Amino acid sequence: EEETSQADQIDPVIPERTEVGDVDDLTQSEREHVKEAIEEANKDNFPEGTDVTVNEDGSATITYPDGSKDNIKAEDLIKQAEEETSQADQIDPILPDRTEVGDVDDLTQSEREHVKEAIEEANKDKFPEGTDVTVNEDGSATITYPDGSKDSIPADQLIFQREDDSDAEDDDQPSLADQIDITLPEKTGVKDINNLTEIEKEKVKIAITDANKLPKGTEVLVGSKGDVIINYPDGSHDVISREDLVYQLADSETGKPADPDKGGTPSEPGTGDADKGSDDASDSKGGDEDSSKDKDSKGGDQGSSKDSKAKDSQDKLPQTGESSSAAILGLAGLSIMAGLGLVAGRRKEDN
């Protein structure tokens, strides 16, 4: 009788199918994965020395120790992997309100940052962590997700051209500078009021931003002498004079007090508004000429100078003769006292 081959005796166990990128051309890694799956499923079935070979098309040949073979079709071992949906396919970005720009063909860096912030804010609950938003010079945006997939937003959905000043005259909408009343913070002490350090400039900037809720995209520029320009996203701006923001610190060596003509003192924080037609200058010149001279010579403020003069005027009587009468009465009193003294002396001698 013919001996039954091992191939006839063994019925291979088929493992779960393996997902592959291309069922007609498996990678070496995919072929190794299919082989391991067959061997694992038949570890108690195949005799020692059995060889498993997986072909490029996904089919497998099993060669037993006696030389007999079994074949397993590719369709029983592999299947086409489903294409994964990219994050770009899954996410539909929310479009923010369009940003007004000076030139739709060439955005400034500030305008590009403003558009980027608007996109990120509108999608803060939608974009996965690690998403990158890039705004191009023409106003279009590219969104790159963590998996490398991308979304693009055309410029006309993100920006629009700012109207010319001639057209703006017909527009009743006030600028941001007109709408916002700047709250002046306490004055910042500086070493040299004519040359602020970078650290001092930053302190002034922080003081202004802390005291005011400025719209996104607002730029605060502090000059070397303490003057400030606030540029709003709509192109309008406010200007704040240094007298309202900084004061000269006292001399650390001599202990001299701060010069009141150099931006005030710590106890005199600025209380005016940003430069939109302030009356501070006219108020400071409202006193008479004598008051101004008194302020310059004594270093005091105008109010204290006026109070001092008022007190002096109350203490001195007008030239009406009263002061000379008082002097005569005083002399008369002294004369009487002297006379009494002489009489007392004579009586003593007589005794």
CA 344 vs CA 333, 334, 336, 348: distances in Å: 17, 16, 13, 6
Report the pLDDT value the prediction gives residue 350, as an integer from 0 to 100.
43
Identity at 11, one-letter amino acid code: D
Same domain, 184 and 266: yes
Same domain, 185 and 152: no
Q: Is the pLDDT of residue 1 over 60?
A: no
Report the pLDDT value the prediction gives residue 252, as an integer from 0 to 100.
57
Of 79-88, 171-180, 184-193, 265-274, which has the strongest mean pLDDT?
184-193
* pLDDT band at 164; cut points 50, 70, 90: low
Report the pLDDT value the prediction gives residue 316, as an integer from 0 to 100.
36
Neighbouring C-alpha atoms within 13 Å toward the C-beta of 10: 24
Average pLDDT for 26-52: 95
Is residue 324 in some structural domain?
Answer: no
* pLDDT band at 139; cut points 50, 70, 90: very high
Q: Is the pLDDT of residue 299 over 90?
A: no
Which of 37-51, 76-90, 162-176, 305-319 has the lowest average pLDDT?
Answer: 305-319
Same domain, 57 and 138: no
Is residue 297 in some structural domain?
Answer: no
Q: Is the pLDDT of residue 70 over 90?
A: yes
Q: Is the pLDDT of residue 125 over 50?
A: yes
Listed residue (114, 78, 110) closest to 96, CA to CA: 114
Q: Percent of the chain, pLDDT > 90? A: 54
pTM recorded for the entire structure: 0.33
Residue range 172-219, pLDDT digits in tens: 678 899 999 999 999 999 999 989 999 999 999 999 999 999 999 999
Report the pLDDT value the prediction gives residue 58, as an integer from 0 to 100.
94
Same domain, 249 and 198: yes
Q: Average per-residue pLDDT in the chain?
A: 77
Is residue 167 in some structural domain?
Answer: no
Is residue 3 in some structural domain?
Answer: no
**Alpha-carbon torsion angle 197, 203, 208, 210, nearest 10:** 160
* pLDDT: which is higher, 128 or 277: 128
* pLDDT band at 308; cut points 50, 70, 90: very low
Report the pLDDT value the prediction gives residue 173, as an integer from 0 to 100.
79
Task: Confirm if 261 and 203 have CB atoms less than 8 A apart.
Answer: no
* pLDDT: which is higher, 127 or 269: 127
Q: Is the pLDDT of residue 64 over 90?
A: yes
* CA 20/CA 136 separation, integer angstroms: 39
- SS3 of the chain: the string is CCCCCHHHHCCCCCCCCEEECCCCCCCHHHHHHHHHHHHHHCCCCCCCCCEEEECCCCCEEEECCCCCEEEECHHHCEEECCCCCCHHHHCCCCCCCCEEECCCCCCCHHHHHHHHHHHHHHCCCCCCCCCEEEECCCCCEEEECCCCCEEEECHHHCEEECCCHHHHCCCCCCCHHHHCCCCCCCCEEECCCCCCCHHHHHHHHHHHHHHCCCCCCCEEEECCCCCEEEECCCCCEEEECHHHCEEECCCCCCCCCCCCCCCCCCCCCCCCCCCCCCCHHHHHCCCCHHHHHHHHHHCCCHHHHHHHHHHHHHHCCCCCCHHHHHHHHHHHHHHHHHHHHHHHHHHHHHC
Average pLDDT for 27-40: 95
Is residue 75 in some structural domain?
Answer: yes
Point out the domain boundary residue: 62, 80, 98: 80
Same domain, 142 and 186: no
Q: Percent of the chain, pLDDT > 70? A: 68
Same domain, 68 and 98: no
Point out the domain boundary residue: 210, 243, 276: 276
Average pLDDT for 321-327: 40
Average pLDDT for 128-149: 94
Backbone torsion region of residue 255, taken as left when φ is above 0, otherwise alpha when ψ lies between -120 and 50, otherwise beta:
left
Residue 59's domain comprises: 11-80
Domains held by the chain: number: 3
* Interacting residues of 77 by C-beta distance below 8 A, sequence separation 6+: 14, 15, 17, 18, 34, 37, 38, 54, 58, 59, 60
Listed residue (16, 10, 86, 80) closest to 50, CA to CA: 10
Report the pLDDT value the prediction gives residue 84, as an integer from 0 to 100.
75
User: Which CATH number does the domain housing residue 54 bear?
Assistant: 3.10.20.890
Q: Is the pLDDT of residue 169 over 70?
A: no
Point out the domain boundary residue: 80, 115, 132: 80
Listed residue (120, 117, 156, 160) closest to 140, CA to CA: 156
Report the pLDDT value the prediction gives residue 251, as an integer from 0 to 100.
76
